[in-house]
Amino acid sequence: MKIALITGTSSGFGLLTALELAKKGYRVIATMRDPEKRHRLLELAEKSAADRIEVWRMDVTKEEEIDGARKKLEDAYGKLDVLINNAGYATGGFFSEIEVSEWEKQFQTNFFGTVRVTRAFLPLIRKNGGGKIINISSVSGFFGFPGLGPYTASKHALEGFSESLRLELAPENIWVSLVEPAAYATDIWEKGLKNFSPENRPKFQQRLIKMAMKAGKTGSDPTEVARLIGKICDEEKPGLRYPVGKGARSLYRWKALLPWRLVERAVLKKLDG
């Protein structure tokens, strides 16, 4: 049986990916910062895949919990086929209003959390003779949306790290991939912008906040992302980047092909209403 470890499985993409891989026959190690939040995952898995999901405590910002999970996995299974670095959150707001400490917290989870977990579990993938590392990025990993500076910066860092790591590990039959979702119906944007009211702000900022909040409520079905991750797991040699969701691929091409001044003009015009 193939073993997959996923971080951040209490909600969103992580939860749905755990269900998807369990249904495909994987033994899923579903890690989360607070295992008390496991009930929704296990309830959804009850009919078809609960016997293939194990919920473990692992905060990606805590070395001791990561090391404990690694030892537990090594003792139980001795190998790892797939590592999915999903744990993350979005800090929203405008640069002058966000303390440096919030930037540091954002990077500790979204970027350094991935680095810590990958360093810890890579030896078990090597022991397996190869495998896959799938890092959950975002369209914010290749496009710097205003009002999401810390989140965008953390995802850009994740993309650069993933490119470099892929080239290092490919000769060992270990394939690093990036999944880059556009707006999906999860609670990440609502949580990220909860402290930033659009009231009493310049028109530009008001419109930006409202658009971000709307994106989370009207986004696509996030099971699309989970299914994509399942397909990547099945590929012998998956690619590096997988933009997914409404407008993700066109945005990627748009930025790559057009001069920045045209991109900037279009974005500012849209936000100006």
Residue among 175, 76, 70, 52 nearest 124 (CA): 70
Q: Which residues lie across from 54 on neighbouring strands? A: 29
Could you say which of 26, 77, 89, 151 is catalytic?
A: 151
Q: Does residue 252 carry a catalytic annotation?
A: no
SS3 per residue for the chain = CCEEEECCCCCHHHHHHHHHHHHCCCEEEEEECCHHHHHHHHHHHCCCCHHHEEEEECCCCCHHHHHHHHHHHHHHCCCCCEEEECCCCCCCECHHHCCHHHHHHHHHHHCHHHHHHHHHHHHHHHHCCCEEEEEECCHHHCCCCCCEHHHHHHHHHHHHHHHHHHHHHHHHCEEEEEEEECCECCCHHHHHCCCCCCCCCCHHHHHHHHHHHHHHHHCECCHHHHHHHHHHHHCCCCCCEEEECCCHHHHHHHHHHCCHHHHHHHHHHHHHC
Residue 25 CB burial class (10 angstroms; 0-12, 13-18, ≥19): exposed
Enzyme catalytic residues: 151
